Structure 1
């Protein structure tokens, strides 16, 4: 019952964002008349991908985050390099790491077959992230729709905007603040690491140099997954117990010092004015319903970095 009440509040938050949108175009019902089969088509595509490989759900969620953090939710992350620009795919936070492009391509092709030149790639990415979370056992939420796709992007924009996996808490808070996101949003969205895996290259510094990590856990990672030299692409789960189920177990791992990324461990035990994140970590670890609802609200807020300037790409990988 508590979760239902909290998710009802999420729907009200979405309605508030619609009312606050100056263009009046962002709405969960944006395609109801022009492409009524959109949301079932996206869910089918995501369900097929997740059934084949549960980790793909986490990858689609990450794709949305990396898209929105760079010049807004405009599908710029999907653009291949052209003669005019080098895109985001080769940026350090994305190269050999982001996945799911083919899943979005397949969904876009199905949507184009029934609703030609109608649905933006950015909206498909947003819907896919929501459905991925829900199919892995997490909450659902009303996705605001009506975005447009970027005409170009740059590698530098991604490297300037995306947080590093080695960032300290003040850097993380500053990075999120620049996007209009607060400490609660940071902690809630970090809960996305309840699912998925990370490469050794992204957590080597944490397991070899940081003192806040559980030393037994660090020793196991050093011995089995992440040598001091080599093995950059070796994978380990971001959550210990249920890495393919979206739940609040990640926050218990933070409390016990058993998370892969420095950015995740930074949420607990930082001194000074940033201690507020400690309370949020413990709050979400103790209350799965609260985490689910506040994650959904943070995703709506993140997705509201929408772009109405641009186009509806026919191919998500290149401008029309």
Structure 2
């Protein structure tokens, strides 16, 4: 039996196993069914309106939820604006150039306040919007538990220290996700979010021109792909923040092509290409690449779990009236 058949066999063996992801007390599917029954549909309408105009915003909302959850947990702290006395998460170096979609959250929240004043948290709005974006790009439905409360603290310094860098190697990535309660397998699954969206040249340009003290170009990067990237990101150009598709073939579709690109040495970031640096991690990449439904189902499990990181519930935190400002 060849390797691809072994991978497919193992995938179906895993898919039928029940999920054992830990749950967080007080989060539940349909949390607003009595206090604001139309909450999820209101968010969905705003998200779909935005995605109809710009499908690429799906990646922005997914990224926004990820960057929120990895700093202080999924408490909408990434939505808070900076003040004269405090530099907030959204203005930290990992965020201020790459995050977008704030206006979509604002629009959904404004409609919710008009319909159900003070009932729906910004953290849940963000979780719903990210789910709707995944559903739009991946073409698969799933439920998201809610009941989150909003945090009152947002510090740029915490974003810089908690978010994984695109230059991380496999060991660094694995440790970063382990600190948030994820296995290496779940880290590789969540990395599949890079199947959609765009990146600034500045996030990977060192792989093209200044890899290390002895080599200019990253030897793990496919030469033909590197040549294409150099045309989009010229050396010494003032346009180092030009945007490049994460997946040049299907940038608005969540699919397993991301993993196939890595297998052909066309992962955009160091943190993408490093996923095949050990036999164990490469097996996971192969599994995701050649069994698309495995990737979709496992991604949903890991994404829902991510939305439960460090959540505030019950009487913790608050329900912000304006997602950008603490009450």
Indicate whether the TM-score tops 0.5.
Answer: yes
Moved over 6 A (4+): none
- Cα distance in 2 for partners of 1:135, 1:167 equals 29
TM-score w.r.t. length of structure 1? 0.91
1:88 touches 1:158 (CA, 8 Å); kept in 2? yes
- Indicate yes or no: 2:302 matched with 1:288: no
- Cα distance in 2 for partners of 1:236, 1:217 equals 12
- Indicate yes or no: 2:229 matched with 1:221: yes
- Cα distance in 2 for partners of 1:55, 1:179 equals 27
After superposition, the Cα gap between the structure-2 partners of 1:56 and 1:9, relative to the gap in structure 1 and judged at 3 Å, is: farther
Unaligned runs of 5+ in 1: none
- Indicate yes or no: 2:158 matched with 1:154: no
- Indicate yes or no: 2:90 matched with 1:82: no
State how many pairs are aligned: 307
- Cα distance in 2 for partners of 1:150, 1:100 equals 19
Q: Secondary structure at the match of 1:30?
A: coil
TM-score w.r.t. length of structure 2? 0.89
- Correspondence list, 1:159-174, <5 A: 159-174=160-175
User: Shift of residue 17 of structure 1?
Assistant: 4.1
- Correspondence list, 1:47-126, <5 A: 47-126=48-127
- Cα distance in 2 for partners of 1:184, 1:43 equals 30
- Cα distance in 2 for partners of 1:114, 1:48 equals 19
- Correspondence list, 1:1-320, <5 A: 13=19, 17-18=22-23, 21=24, 24-208=25-209, 209=211, 210-268=218-276, 270-271=277-278, 275-305=279-309, 306-308=311-313, 309-320=316-327
User: Shift of residue 279 of structure 1?
Assistant: 0.6
Unaligned runs of 5+ in 2: 1-11, 212-217
RMSD between aligned alpha carbons? 2.1
1:200 touches 1:226 (CA, 8 Å); kept in 2? no
Residue deviations 1:154-212, cap 9 Å, x none?
11000000011111111100000000011111111111111101000001012332211
